[in-house]
């Protein structure tokens, strides 16, 4: 093993952007500006990690020395973590206890692979950097108190309540993690129940539900006329978002392997869905027409490729398209954002179409009912949703055809012509109109 240690240089440590090993069980884990030295080893058949302090407070040479001491303990059959718990004196604790930023980085590193996507890890890092780091960042994690937590939360609790609640939850998780690593006392100053709920007003008392600005469903067809004059990939992505009523991230992350052109189905895997459940999207005539005209770039998995090779369009791409057409918050033609088209679709479904509420909610990939109802309804109402999404596409084309009732339509009825929207008027079924329940996106 001696020939395979001391592989790192100071420059490599300073510029590291991903975990790197020095050999001899010594690793450096970077996360943003934070860098944490870790001694990794196995004990009783389990992988264990012992923090050796953060860089640059603990230099490469010092980290190597601490790793060597830990290896010597292992050679003697002693578990380094257990030895530290028994021998660590109070006056030496600050030397090995990480800062809040370092503890947060370790927590994110440990959990990021279990989260749905990389974006979630970036959101954790971004919110903590913006709101928690100025107060807690360089503070040893065992010195974080209730007053520090309140200093972070109070300025945003009544003005950005959703964000503040998210920050509180993330700090609470990090401090619980730190306690489990024996970096601090188990009492958590960021705990909500039985602690902060006595010091801050309840979120339900201060937060205002803000709906995403949406274009009235009556105006969607006219908007699409403008949109279809644009030839950019971003414009086509926005068109698919409107026609499928999917979320922005679901559309931007669409991959060719998810789309079955022959079956006219787009299957979004559970890992990319907000509800962590696979969602099949029926593709209407109009949606198919858009997809079939899109170029396929060799070795590029995404339906809507971004400027960087191997990456999809950014979240800002669709907003920029709408702003270019005069829409957006404070836009000359009205307040509307891409996500708002889900509300446009929901309003159309509830106020104009004859489809039952549960079909509308399933089309939006919303969770329907309680556990008993979900257990009873195992299907995804795909045939009914296909008819619904075709009618929505017809509405978006300006046809106004909305009176087909799927509950009494025969499953497997012949598909309407893809070349004539007007033929849809001959496909009619009779049923009851379901009232809009007012549920948002």
Tell the CATH topology of 217-426: hpI Integrase; Chain A (1.10.443)
Task: Please report which confidence band the pLDDT of residue 421 belongs to, taking 50, 70 and 90 as the band edges.
Answer: very low
Residue the block writes with tokens 């030839």: 231
Going by C-beta distance under 8 Å and a sequence separation of 6 or more, which residues neighbour residue 272?
116, 117, 249, 250, 253
- pLDDT at residue 422 in the model: 32
Four-point Cα dihedral 124, 130, 134, 140, nearest 10: 0
Report which of residues 159 and 323 the model is more confident about.
323
CATH 1.10.3720.10 fits 100-206, yes or no: no
Give residue 378's pLDDT.
Answer: 54
Whether residue 351 is predicted with pLDDT greater than 70 in this model: the reply is: yes
Q: Does domain 2-96 have CATH number 3.30.160.390?
A: yes
Domain ranges of the chain: 2-96, 100-206, 217-426
pTM over 0.75: no
Average of per-residue pLDDT across 358-369: 83
What order of strands is seen across the sheet that includes strand 26-31?
20-23, 26-31, 34-43, 46-54
For residues 159 and 211, the model is more confident at 159
Mean pLDDT of 341-346: 92
Model confidence at 276, in pLDDT bands (50, 70, 90)? confident
Q: What is the pLDDT of residues 187-245, one digit of tens each?
A: 999 999 889 999 999 876 565 545 678 889 999 999 999 999 999 999 999 999 999 99
Residue 115: predicted pLDDT:
74
Query: How big is the chain, counted in residues?
Result: 441
In the structure encoding, which two tokens stand for residue 32, read together?
């943003």
DSSP 71-119: HHHHHTT--HHHHHHHH--GGGHHHHSPBHHHHHHHHHHHHGGGSS-HH
Mean pLDDT of 273-291: 92
Percent of the chain scored above 70 by pLDDT? 81
Tell me: pLDDT of 436 over 80: no
Average pLDDT of the residues in 1-9: 71
Segment 76-134, tens digit of pLDDT: 888 888 887 776 545 444 457 999 999 999 999 888 877 766 677 888 988 899 899 99
Pairing of strands 265-268, 259-260: antiparallel
Closest CA to 128 of 36, 31, 35: 31
- Predicted confidence at residue 298, as pLDDT, reads 81
Provide long-range contacts, Cβ within 8 A and 24+ apart, for 29-33. Answer: 29/105, 29/106, 29/109, 30/105, 31/104, 31/105, 31/106, 31/108, 31/109, 31/125, 32/101, 32/105, 32/125, 32/129, 33/101
Tell me, rounded to whole angstroms, the distance of Cα 401 from its chain centroid. Answer: 36
Question: Cis ω on the peptide bond leading into residue 56 (within 30° of 0)?
Answer: yes
The count of other CB atoms within 10 Å of the CB of residue 180 is: 11
Mean per-residue pLDDT over the chain, rounded: 81
Q: How far apart are CA 128 and CA 100, in angstroms?
A: 10
12 is written with which tokens? 């490599």
User: How far lies 194's CA from each of 125, 162, 176, 387, in Å?
Assistant: 27, 20, 15, 50
Predicted local distance difference test score (pLDDT) of residue 103: 94
Lowest mean pLDDT among 140-149, 241-250, 421-430: 421-430
pLDDT at 33: 67
In order of 159, 163, 210, 404, 441, the CA distances from 207 in angstroms are 8, 10, 9, 40, 18
Q: What is the pLDDT of residue 6?
A: 82
DSSP helix/strand/coil, 226: helix
The predicted-structure confidence for 367-408, as pLDDT tens digits, reads as follows 765 444 454 455 678 999 999 999 999 999 987 544 433 333
In the chain, % helix, strand, coil (3-state, to 5) comes to 50, 10, 40
The pLDDT of residue 116 is: 62
Which residues, in sequence order, are CB contacts of 231 under 8 Å at separation 6+?
A: none
Mean pLDDT value of segment 409-438: 31
Which pairs count as long-range contacts for 78-85, CB under 8 Å and 24+ apart, including other chains?
79/43, 79/48, 80/39, 80/41, 80/50, 81/43, 81/48, 81/50, 84/50, 85/182
Cα 80 to chain centroid distance, Å, stands at 37
Res. 409 pLDDT band, cuts 50 70 90: very low
Phi-psi region of 370 (alpha: psi -120 to 50; beta: other; left: phi over 0): beta
Over residues 336-355, the mean pLDDT reads 89
Amino acid 389: pLDDT: 96
- Which percentage of the chain shows pLDDT scores above 90? 42
What's the pLDDT score for residue 104?
Answer: 94
What is the reported pLDDT for 348? 92
Q: What residues have CB less than 8 Å from 129, skipping those under 6 apart?
A: 32
- HSE, side-chain direction, 13 A CA sphere, residue 393: 26
């Amino acid at each position: 093993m001696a020939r395979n240690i001391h592989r790192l240089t100071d420059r490599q440590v300073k510029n590291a952007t991903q975990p790197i090993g020095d050999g001899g069980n010594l690793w450096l884990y970077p996360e943003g500006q934070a860098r944490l030295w870790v001694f990794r080893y196995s004990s009783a058949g389990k992988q264990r990690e012992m923090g050796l302090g953060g860089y640059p407070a603990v230099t490469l040479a010092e980290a190597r020395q601490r790793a060597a001491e830990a290896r010597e303990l292992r050679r003697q059959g002693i578990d380094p973590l257990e030895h530290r718990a028994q021998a660590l004196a109070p006056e030496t604790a600050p030397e090995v206890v990480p800062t809040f930023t370092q503890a947060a980085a370790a927590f994110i590193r440990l959990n990021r692979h279990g989260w749905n996507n990389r974006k979630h890890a970036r959101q954790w890092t971004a919110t903590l950097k913006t709101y928690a780091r100025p107060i807690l960042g360089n503070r040893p994690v065992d010195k974080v108190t209730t007053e520090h937590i309140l200093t972070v939360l109070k300025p945003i609790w009544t003005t950005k309540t959703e964000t503040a609640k998210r920050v509180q939850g993330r700090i609470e998780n990090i401090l619980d993690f730190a306690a489990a690593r024996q970096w601090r006392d188990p009492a958590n100053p960021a705990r909500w129940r039985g602690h902060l709920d006595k010091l801050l007003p309840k979120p339900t008392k201060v937060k205002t539900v803000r709906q995403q600005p949406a274009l009235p469903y009556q105006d969607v067809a006219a908007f699409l006329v403008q949109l279809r004059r644009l030839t950019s990939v971003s414009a086509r992505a926005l068109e698919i978002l409107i026609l499928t009523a999917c979320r922005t991230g679901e559309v931007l992350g669409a991959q060719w392997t998810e789309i079955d052109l022959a079956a006219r189905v787009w299957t979004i895997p559970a890992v990319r869905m907000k509800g962590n459940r696979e969602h099949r999207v029926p593709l209407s005539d109009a949606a198919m027409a858009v997809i079939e005209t899109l170029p396929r770039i060799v070795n590029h998995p995404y339906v809507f490729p971004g400027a960087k090779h191997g990456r999809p369009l950014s979240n800002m791409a669709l907003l920029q398209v709408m702003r270019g057409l005069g829409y957006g918050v404070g836009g000359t033609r009205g307040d509307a954002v891409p996500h708002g088209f889900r509300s446009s679709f929901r309003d159309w479904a509830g106020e104009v179409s004859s489809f039952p509420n549960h079909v509308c909610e399933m089309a939006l990939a919303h969770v329907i009912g309680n556990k008993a109802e979900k257990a009873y309804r195992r299907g995804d109402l795909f045939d009914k949703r296909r008819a619904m999404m075709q009618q929505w596409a017809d509405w978006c084309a300006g046809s106004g055809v909305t009176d087909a009732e799927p509950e009494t339509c025969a499953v497997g009825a012949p598909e309407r012509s893809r070349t004539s929207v007007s033929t849809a008027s001959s496909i009619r079924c009779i049923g009851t109109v379901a009232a809009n329940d007012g549920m948002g996106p």
